[in-house]
Amino acid sequence: MRVIFNVDAISAPLTGIGRYALELANGLARHDAVEELRLYSAVRWVDDPAEALSSNRIFASLRQNLPFKTRALEVYSQMRNLLFRAHTRKLQGYLLHTPNYILMPFEGPAVTTVHDLSAFNYPETHPPERVRFLERHLPRTLARADRVLTDSQFIADEVHEKLGVPREKLRVVALGVDGRYRPHEASELAEAMDRHQLVAGAYLLVVATQEPRKNLVRLARAYARLPNATRARHPLIIVGARGWLSADLERALAPLEASGAARRLGYVSEDDLPLVYAGARAFAFPSIYEGFGLPVLEAMASGIPVLTSNVSSLPEVCADIALCINPLDELEMCSGIERLLGDEEWRATTIRLGLELAARYPWSRCVDETVSVYRELTGEQR
């Protein structure tokens, strides 16, 4: 089969959708069933995902810094669509897949991936220009797409019930975990621990963009309720880029950071992130809403116990292995963190079960299941 794959989402720093697009692009390039793979980035063809990463950095900067962001986003989208139509006019026998919601105009079979509906469910937690863009363009994409991929059954159900997409169009394809996320020996961790001023086995980790949906404000407040001795032994370490609407988070973290009980590392490199995971005592991810929750699986694969939320897709992904709490209840979250850090018998069991679960989600599985969806549209046999 011949595939055109949109790599706009592969942009530094890589977040969940960017990681998904990168892993799919690399996997499709190696897949036996894919006779030809063409990558389209921003407004041009690129030879490989690394080139897309470089190209997209420029366009991401322009979109971020231009005034009148809503208008700029629309103009950019229109220009991209015109160029894509011109670049693909003479191509025959291709399938188009965009891994980031909005399809470009294309005459052949088309697949899109919808990761979540947070912009519709929680519009106040997103930049307004992004919400308006999706409100305008996503319904057209869903009507035009031949298949709509989602990361979880929870999101597939939402897309059907809230946006009216027929069940027969929907396919659930779970994300994967890179093999670099695994338990590490102390000697393997030493350099990264020194580089980030961490002590292996002695910190509570959270990996998330600092934006309201990740619920970091309540996490900080719940953590602040812990006994002083617990906070001294296990500081709260936050990894992730600064996002938006963060004034409440700044207020919640200020006293913790002033006392040394919490610290933000910002963006951590691709090489160091698996080591920072593996060096943690435990992992907290009390998000209010997720389409999948990849950091939960990454933490399990790293051999550390996880606390997460009992809402959206998270219980589906963690299969009752993580400690699932009400993300709106700070007292319950605080009690959960105490168990996460101190209940040795529970920790040993959940670490073992988490490693077994994560092992069932390699990225190769995601690629194979995606190719199976392509086969439905192209009529190709296995």
The CATH number of the domain holding residue 74 is 3.40.50.2000
Checking if the pLDDT of 59 tops 60, the result is no
**Do 242 and 122 share a structural domain?**
no
pLDDT grade for 245, boundaries at 50, 70 and 90: low
pTM over 0.75? The answer is yes
Checking if the pLDDT of 56 tops 60, the result is no
**Do 191 and 156 share a structural domain?**
no
**Do 147 and 57 share a structural domain?**
yes
pLDDT value of residue 335:
98
pLDDT value of residue 60:
56
Least trusted range by pLDDT, from 127-141, 170-184, 285-299, 343-357: 127-141
Evaluate whether residue 305 is within a structural domain: yes
pLDDT value of residue 72:
73
**Do 211 and 350 share a structural domain?**
yes
**Do 216 and 278 share a structural domain?**
yes
254 φ, ψ to 5°?
-50, -50
Distances (CA, A) of 184 to 145, 195, 280, 350, 361: 43, 16, 11, 17, 19
Contact 148, 306 (CB under 8 A): no
**Do 285 and 147 share a structural domain?**
no
| Beta bridge partner(s), residue 210 | 242
pLDDT value of residue 71:
72
Evaluate whether residue 54 is within a structural domain: yes
Q: Quick one: average pLDDT of 248-276?
A: 95
Q: Quick one: average pLDDT of 319-333?
A: 96
Which percentage of the chain shows pLDDT scores above 70? 94
pLDDT grade for 62, boundaries at 50, 70 and 90: low
pLDDT grade for 343, boundaries at 50, 70 and 90: very high
**Do 344 and 238 share a structural domain?**
yes
pLDDT in tens, 181-220: 999 999 999 999 999 999 999 999 999 988 889 999 999 9
**Do 73 and 7 share a structural domain?**
yes
What's the CA dihedral at 72, 77, 78, 83 to 10 degrees?
130
Q: In what order do the strands lie in the sheet with 110-114?
A: 44-46, 36-41, 2-6, 94-98, 110-114, 147-150, 170-172
Structural domain span for residue 239: 186-358
pLDDT grade for 294, boundaries at 50, 70 and 90: very high
pLDDT value of residue 381:
60
Q: Quick one: average pLDDT of 303-327?
A: 96
pLDDT value of residue 246:
77
State the amino acid at position 370 in one-letter form.
T
**Do 235 and 330 share a structural domain?**
yes
pLDDT value of residue 50:
80
**Do 263 and 151 share a structural domain?**
no
Q: Quick one: average pLDDT of 2-13?
A: 90
67 φ, ψ to 5°?
-70, 170
Evaluate whether residue 214 is within a structural domain: yes
Report how many domains make up the chain. 2
Residue by residue, what is the 3-state secondary structure of the chain?
A: CEEEEECCCCCCCCCHHHHHHHHHHHHHHHCCCCCEEEEEECCEEECCHHHHHHHHHHHHHHHHHCCCHHHHHHHHHHHHHHHHHHHHCCCCCEEEEECCCCCCCCCCCEEEEECCCHHHHCHHHCCHHHHHHHHHHHHHHHHHCCEEEECCHHHHHHHHHHHCCCHHHEEECCCCECCCCCCCCHHHHHHHHHHCCCCCCCCEEEECCECHHHCHHHHHHHHHCCCHHHHHHCCEEEECCECCCCHHHHHHHHHHHHHCCEEEEECCCCCCHHHHHHCCCEEEECCCCCCCCHHHHHHHHCCCCEEEECCCCHHHHHCCCCEEECCCCHHHHHHHHHHHHHCHHHHHHHHHHHHHHHCCCEHHHHHHHHHHHHHHHHCCCC
pLDDT in tens, 64-88: 555 546 677 788 788 889 999 999 9
**Do 243 and 102 share a structural domain?**
no
**Do 152 and 7 share a structural domain?**
yes
Evaluate whether residue 181 is within a structural domain: no
